[in-house]
């Protein structure tokens, strides 16, 4: 599946729009990167830029932005309300989709090394990328700011992680890191009272409230042995919250920062506010997300609310997102457009239209045209996706069957699996065409000199390897779905047994079609070890597929009879 990482560099310029434009143009010059937001501030004299893309593209875009900032911004002339230490002050990487923390940290290290070596800017790694835990806190690194760093950098404890241990007068220093995604999230209350909103905020935030001798806000604070106020922690970890009144909306809100969505997801914050408000005679009427967020947050919220309804969680991502929006009232104050608020969807919207975004007629017309792509590989992946979808449909129908409540978990689990397999195969529909295009691009490379011929031959071989690997992934993913269809044939709603049969035929046809594409792409390869390894996998997948197909077909036929 596509890897997406977000990068949020902060540049020490918020007033000169031409400088900001040149920096963002440098970032956008990298193919595969989407500029999501540019937020300049005049009083802070600082601009926060948000962009996202594949890890390699994001590192390249960040480097170009930092290089342009070093060229255009002179820190000797800089003043502003926000703490700062360099022309590019901070540059964090945040995993969004299918990117591990190890990959995010490697992005920070690659960028730090390159900026230090090529631009001669001192680099400090922070948060999860910091090799020294004592220097992981950004505020600790930035203490003393630009003016104080001329002496600070001379101390052995403050030797940079990359780059020279000499402070750059013009560009200063930069902190590069890997951190958790932060979501600014507000819960709307049916009150105008800031005091009552604060009561809810104190209930839910990690820091809680100060303990008093009588348990009321007006009571005397209880002190510990060091004379410090004792705090009663709130319900949620990794949540900062406060109550405020918003004149524009005519209501009070609980304003929250969620700093670890894995441990405290969006829906947990909404439910905690709802529970606290209810106990105080209030009601949460809806909520709002400030900025953007990863798709996973709303998908998981949708599943959470389906579980609360005791319904199958095996809905499509689109449906899960819609359930989350409705359940948390995200459109109460203004329409919530997923294509504008969800990072992955914003990137998809900005990119070229994919095959899977076409309607059925458009896809068939494109396949039937004289263009060689989409071809058999993409169609095979689509056939596999259709087979999986039929199996998932039977799971969802069985989960909702009256009198089968005790088996909800079984069928819901299979429906969730079906959604995952379907999404993987749909991704491969486009990826197979992209792999074919890479082969054609390699054949188009120049071949005038011996060096060009060698580079072209190597590129062709590499592209052909990838073109063989993609249909093999189709086979592997389709093979994972046989247990789904077996489960539905054996235990699913008997009225849907023909759907299981059609799904089985489509799944096997997709797998066999993908096998043909593996074989034809192996034909042009010279790497015998690679060909042998893929050939072994191919034969085993086909043999196992035949066995499973025959076994499940027998179950389907017996029930049809």
- Show the domain range for 294: 183-341
36 phi/psi in degrees, rounded to 5: -95, -35
| DSSP code at position 434 | H
Q: In this structure, are 93 and 204 located in the same domain? A: no
Which of 178, 197, 227 is the last residue before a domain boundary? 178
Asked if residue 296 belongs to a domain, the reply is: yes
Asked if residue 347 belongs to a domain, the reply is: no
Asked if residue 270 belongs to a domain, the reply is: yes
Q: In this structure, are 136 and 208 located in the same domain? A: no
∠193-199-205 over CA atoms, to 5°?
130
CA–CA distance, 95 with 58 (Å, rounded to integer): 11
Q: In this structure, are 172 and 69 located in the same domain? A: yes
**Residue 424 CB partners (closer than 8 Å, separation 6+):** 1, 477
Q: In this structure, are 390 and 330 located in the same domain? A: no
Which of 126, 158, 178 is the last residue before a domain boundary? 178
* Total structural domains within the chain: 3
The reported pLDDT for the residue numbered 65 is 97
Q: In this structure, are 319 and 382 located in the same domain? A: no
Q: In this structure, are 156 and 137 located in the same domain? A: yes
Q: In this structure, are 192 and 172 located in the same domain? A: no
Q: In this structure, are 222 and 323 located in the same domain? A: yes
Question: What radius of gyration, in Å, describes the C-alpha atoms of the chain?
Answer: 28
Q: In this structure, are 504 and 471 located in the same domain? A: yes
- DSSP bridge pairs for 111: none
C-beta separation of 200 from 243 below 8 A: yes
The reported pLDDT for the residue numbered 351 is 67
The reported pLDDT for the residue numbered 352 is 61
CA–CA distance, 304 with 310 (Å, rounded to integer): 10
CA–CA distance, 99 with 5 (Å, rounded to integer): 7
Q: In this structure, are 368 and 453 located in the same domain? A: yes
Note if the bond before 374 is cis, omega within 30 degrees: yes
Q: What token pair was written down for 382?
A: 């689509």
Q: What is the CATH number of the domain that holds 158?
A: 3.30.990.10
The reported pLDDT for the residue numbered 49 is 93
Which of 146, 178, 210 is the last residue before a domain boundary? 178
Tens-binned pLDDT, residue by residue, of the chain (561 aa): 689 999 999 999 999 999 999 999 999 999 889 999 898 888 889 999 999 999 999 999 999 999 999 999 999 999 888 889 999 999 999 999 999 999 999 999 999 999 999 999 999 999 999 999 989 999 899 999 999 999 999 999 999 999 999 998 999 999 999 999 989 899 999 999 999 999 999 999 999 998 887 777 778 888 888 888 888 899 999 999 999 999 989 999 999 999 999 999 999 999 999 999 999 999 999 999 988 899 999 999 999 999 999 999 999 999 999 999 999 999 999 999 999 899 999 888 766 678 888 899 999 999 999 888 789 999 999 999 999 999 999 999 999 888 888 889 999 999 999 999 999 999 999 999 989 889 899 999 999 999 999 999 999 999 999 999 999 999 999 999 999 999 999 999 999 999 999 999 999 999 999 999 999 988 878 889 999 999 999 999 999 999 999 999 999 999 998
SS3 349: helix
Q: In this structure, are 266 and 415 located in the same domain? A: no
Asked if residue 346 belongs to a domain, the reply is: no
The gap from C-alpha 331 to its chain's centroid, in whole angstroms, comes to 22
Q: In this structure, are 511 and 443 located in the same domain? A: yes
Residues serving a catalytic function are 82, 432
Asked if residue 532 belongs to a domain, the reply is: yes
CA–CA distance, 86 with 82 (Å, rounded to integer): 12
**In this structure, how many other beta carbons lie within 10 angstroms of the beta carbon of residue 236?**
23
- DSSP bridge pairs for 275: none
């Amino acid at each position: 599946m596509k890897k997406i990482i977000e990068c949020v560099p902060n540049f020490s310029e918020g007033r000169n729009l031409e400088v900001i434009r040149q920096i963002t143009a440098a970032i956008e010059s990298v193919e595969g990167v989407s500029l999501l937001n540019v937020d300049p501030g005049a009083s802070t004299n600082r601009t926060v830029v948000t962009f996202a893309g594949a890890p390699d593209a994001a590192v390249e875009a960040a480097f170009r932005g930092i290089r342009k900032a070093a060229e255009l911004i002179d820190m000797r002339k800089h003043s502003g309300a926000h703490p700062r230490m360099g022309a590019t002050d901070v540059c964090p990487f945040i995993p969004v989709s299918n990117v591990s923390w190890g990959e995010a940290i490697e992005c920070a290290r690659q960028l730090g090394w390159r900026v230090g070596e090529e631009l001669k800017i001192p680099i400090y790694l922070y948060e999860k990328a910091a090799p020294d835990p004592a220097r992981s806190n950004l505020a600790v690194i930035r203490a003393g700011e630009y003016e104080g760093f001329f002496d600070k950098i001379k101390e052995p404890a403050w030797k940079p992680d990359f780059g020279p241990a000499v402070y750059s007068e013009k560009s200063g220093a930069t902190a590069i890191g890997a951190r958790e995604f932060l979501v600014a999230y507000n819960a709307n209350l049916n009150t105008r009272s800031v005091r009552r909103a604060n009561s809810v905020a104190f209930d839910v935030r990690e820091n809680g409230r100060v303990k008093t001798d009588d348990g009321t806000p007006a009571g005397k604070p209880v002190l510990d042995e060091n004379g410090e106020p004792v705090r009663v922690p709130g319900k949620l970890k990794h949540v900062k919250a406060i109550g405020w009144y918003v004149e524009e909306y005519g209501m009070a809100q609980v304003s929250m920062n969620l700093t670890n969505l894995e441990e405290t997801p969006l829906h947990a914050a909404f439910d905690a506010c709802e529970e606290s408000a209810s106990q105080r005679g209030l009601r949460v009427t809806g909520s709002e997300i400030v900025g953007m967020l990863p798709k996973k947050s709303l998908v998981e919220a949708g599943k959470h609310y389906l579980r609360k309804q005791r319904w199958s969680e095996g809905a499509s991502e689109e449906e899960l997102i819609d359930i989350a929006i409705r359940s948390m009232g995200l459109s109460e104050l203004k329409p919530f457009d997923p294509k504008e608020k969800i990072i992955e969807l914003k990137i998809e919207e900005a990119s070229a239209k994919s095959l899977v975004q076409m309607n059925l007629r458009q896809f068939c017309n494109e396949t039937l045209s004289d263009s060689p792509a989409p071809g058999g590989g993409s169609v095979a992946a689509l056939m596999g996706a259709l087979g999986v979808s039929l199996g998932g449909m039977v799971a969802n129908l069985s989960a909702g069957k009256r009198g089968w409540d005790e088996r909800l978990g079984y069928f819901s689990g299979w429906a969730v699996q079906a959604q995952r397999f379907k999404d993987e195969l749909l991704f491969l529909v486009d990826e197979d065409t992209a792999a074919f295009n890479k082969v054609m691009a390699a054949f188009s490379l120049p071949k005038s000199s011996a060096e060009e011929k060698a580079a072209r031959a190597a590129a062709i071989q590499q592209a052909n390897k990838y073109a063989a690997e993609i249909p093999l992934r189709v086979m592997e993913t389709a093979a994972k779905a046989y247990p789904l269809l077996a489960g539905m044939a054996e235990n699913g709603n008997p009225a849907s047994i023909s759907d299981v049969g059609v799904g089985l035929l489509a799944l096997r046809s997709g797998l066999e079609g993908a096998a043909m594409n593996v074989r034809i792409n192996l034909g042009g390869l010279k790497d015998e070890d690679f060909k042998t390894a893929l050939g072994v996998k191919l034969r085993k997948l086909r043999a196992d597929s035949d066995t499973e197909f025959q076994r499940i077909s027998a179950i389907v036929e017996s029930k049809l009879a």
